[in-house]
Structure 1
Amino acid sequence: MGLTHEWYNLNTVGLPQKVINTIQSARASSTRSLYDCKWRVFEEWCLQEGHISFQCPVGVILSFRQDLIDKHRAFSTIKVYLAAIAACHVGFEGKTASQHPLVCRFMKGARRLLPVSRSLVPFWDLAVVLNGLNMTPFEPLEGADMKHLSHKTVPLLALASAKRVSDIHALSVHPSCTQFTPGQTRVLLKPNPAFTPKVVGSCTPFGIEAFPPPLVSSGEQQQDLLCPVRALHTYMDRSKELRLNDQLFVSWANPYKGKPVTKQRLSHWIVEAIALAYTSQNLQAPSGLRVHSTRGLATSWALFKGVSIQDICAAASWSSPLTFVRFYRLDVSAPSVARAVLGTLLSQSSTC
């Protein structure tokens, strides 16, 4: 389960093994792994300083965190270290290390010394990226290689759903998890039942509507190249022969061909797709691209296009509208997030 010292502390209280396992399951496996890694760093630091990590006085904990500040670590990093220490340390008089008055005051001071800055302006332009996804090497989709087909499908799905990379990573091609309606007018997706979401209760099925073919000047209809349902169906059909398990997105490159990709690799695909969309139009790809900006841009554009904040929070698995507002610092007041976001390029071209 990870966090051995947390298990030890709970065991000394006399709790049964099954109870301890349930308590430790309150955190996602990735969180437990991260805390375990941070705790080991603290353990090594205490060993060098001659202290017992899980029983050290509060002054030792504060000195370690001051060392992090002196090394110019971000405030968010210091918070993670504190959470890991609080999970494994025995605490003080029935309270965790993070609840000690001196620790609380230290964190307030650290926040003032290390102000959190978050850019409210995305590093990339949504219309430019969507336009690039309509061009070579992403189109024609049926003739694109698996690399570019994957690079187009993942960002379209991310933009259409406003989901976290971890949520997209948990999707499966199993018939019980991915279902297309007749005519591919809609797809219903739900994560693998074994997936533990970051936000408890957010692991719910979600549907994406197919974009109707737009009318051209002659009155005929042409395929919507930004339809996420079309891209997803094509990707699943093309990846059938090489996939080795039911995870939706698999590697197309040797020696991992057909094997499930990691969350980090999915993040790289999205960033690479954004950069390639720029270069395909002979534009300089912006620096500092981050995959989380896709989620932020999707929710922000949906809000701009008139989608209610309740629908946005439900689609993006935000715990509450207040969480959404505070994260993006928005003043909040299309029935579909996917249409609002991916339809941006079409609406802009029609008004020009």
Structure 2
Amino acid sequence: MDGDFARHVGRPPPPHCNEERCSHTPVLQCGASGHASHQTIGMLAVREQVRARGVSEEGVDIIMASWTAGTEKQYRPHFRRWSQLCSRWNITSINPNVSNIINFLSDTFHRNARYAISSLGIVVDGCRAGNHPLVIRFMKGVFNLRSPLPRYAATWDIQPVLRQLQSMHPLYMLSLKDLTLKLVMLMALTQAARVQTLHLLTIKGLCIEQDFIMVPLSGNIKQCRPQFNVCVIKFQTYPKDASLCVYGTLRQYLARTQELRQGMGQESYSLFLSFIKPHKAVTRDTIARWLRKMLDRSGVDTTTFTAGSVREAAASKAKAMAKAGWTRASTFAKFYDRHVGTTDPFQNAVQQ
């Protein structure tokens, strides 16, 4: 299998403007027709606002595509609560005053509520609702009263997991189940990858070279943005220890599943297939369950640590970051954005 890959476009985003200043960029404002029914608050309300500005249906669809399904799902409870409070207070949901916004945020006391309100395009005193000086000051108070804490105060030791992976060798003697579990964990560790990233890996356009494999992604991952896009992920050989080599494990998995993919149609392009009949493309939840299974086999407390903890443990082992979170100038996507032919110190550090 081979393919012509577009290289990652990885540039740091331009410096953000000071959020405490009101934004004077064009925003969606509610005029005389701003009395949208409370049942349409949320993405439908945003769509109606865009349409009311004379944007074509094609343009509206493209603008609405800027919100991912995950973002919409994350904001949905806040949209619903905002709608309910507007009904209770008998105010318009898209043209409130700043006191209404503060009262809503006080009632919700959740930082995502501010982002949800901002996404509705609400303008107060000439500012986006989320950028109003009083709202900014309020959110600083929320931070001081309820500072966000990392999900895990400590992470698990990666060594038992590596020993478990080393014991699953040679590859040709492994069942398809064990081969799958090993590959998922190796990929998660060597790339500090989210479950979402693993789920999006596809063999369509996959490129195998002598010492690395480039695996495309079938969609955008969380780190993607206009200034920085990740379209492929590179998995390298690890000649120091064949039992921890993600490259060799992936090649074995591709060979083992080649026959299973025949006649599957579009599903055959998904990298990970179920190891039980019927062999179909798996969901994100299944991949997360596989990671938890490997953690459990390795003696990690899965009642405390989830599949998402693999990313943090990998980062701690490689000393790539203090924790696996977002930073303004550096993300994991940039960290594994390597030119073809170079070695990846992150993968090597994790495997050592």
By the TM > 0.5 criterion, same fold? yes
**For 2:139, what is the secondary structure of its paired residue?**
helix
Q: Which residue of 1 aligns with 2:257?
A: 239
In structure 2, what residue type is equivalent to 1:58?
V
Distance in 1 (CA, whole Å) between partners of 2:297 and 2:91 is 51
Residues 193-250 of structure 1: CA distance to partner in whole angstroms, max 9, x if unpaired?
Answer: x446532223143322212265xxxxxxxxx211111222222233334454111123
Give deviations 1:59-102, integer Å, cap 9, x for gaps: 33333332233xxxxxxxx2222212221253224432212222
1:230 counterpart (248, 251, 267): 248
| Alignment-derived partner of residue 263 in structure 1 | 284
1:100 aligns with 2:132: yes
Note the C-alpha offset of 1:126: 0.6
Task: Give the TM-score taking structure 2 as reference length.
Answer: 0.71
Deviations 1:29-81 (CA, angstroms, capped at 9, x unpaired)? 32234334542343244435544433343333333332233xxxxxxxx2222
Whichever residue aligns with residue 295 of structure 2, its letter is I
Tell me the residue number matched to 2:209. 181
Aligned to 2:99: 59
Specify the SS of the correspondent of 2:244: coil
The one of 186, 206, 209 aligned to 2:236: 209
User: What is the aligned length?
Assistant: 293
Higher relative contact order (CA 8 A, sep 6+): 2
Q: Partners in 2 of 1:227 and 1:56 — Cα distance?
A: 58
With over 3 angstroms needed to count, the CA separation of the structure-2 counterparts of 1:196 and 1:271, relative to structure 1, is closer
Q: 1:127 to 1:92 in 2, by over 3 A?
A: same
Deviations 1:295-347 (A, max 9, x none): 2332333337xxxx8xxxxxx997764568xxxxxxxxx8522111112xxxx
Offset at residue 130 of structure 1 (A): 0.7
Which runs of 5 or more residues in structure 2 are unaligned? 1-41, 333-342
Q: Secondary structure at the match of 1:199?
A: coil
> Do the aligned partners of 1:197 and 1:203 also contact (CA within 8 Å) in 2?
no
Residues 237-277 of structure 1 deviation map (CA, whole Å, 9 limit, x = unaligned): 333344541111233356xx433333343233223311222
Give the TM-score normalised by structure 1.
Answer: 0.71
Matched residue SS, 1:295: helix
Opposite residue 234 of structure 1, the aligned amino acid is Q
Q: Gaps spanning 5+ residues in structure 1: where? A: 70-77, 215-223, 279-283, 310-315, 325-333, 344-352
Kindly tell me: are residues 40 and 170 of structure 1, through their superposed partners in 2, closer, same or farther at Cα, counting changes over 3 Å?
same
Higher mean alpha-carbon deviation, 14-23 vs 100-109, is at 14-23
Asked whether the 8 Å contact 2:216–2:231 carries over to 1, the reply is yes
- In the alignment, the residues of structure 1 paired with residue 350 and residue 212 of structure 2 have an alpha-carbon distance, to the nearest angstrom, of 17
Q: Summarize the Cα distance change of 1:153–1:95 in structure 2 as closer, same or farther, 3 Å threshold.
A: same
CA distance in 1, matches of 2:250, 2:106: 48
CA RMSD of aligned residues (A): 3.2
- More helix as a share of residues: 1
Counterpart in 2 of 1:23? 63
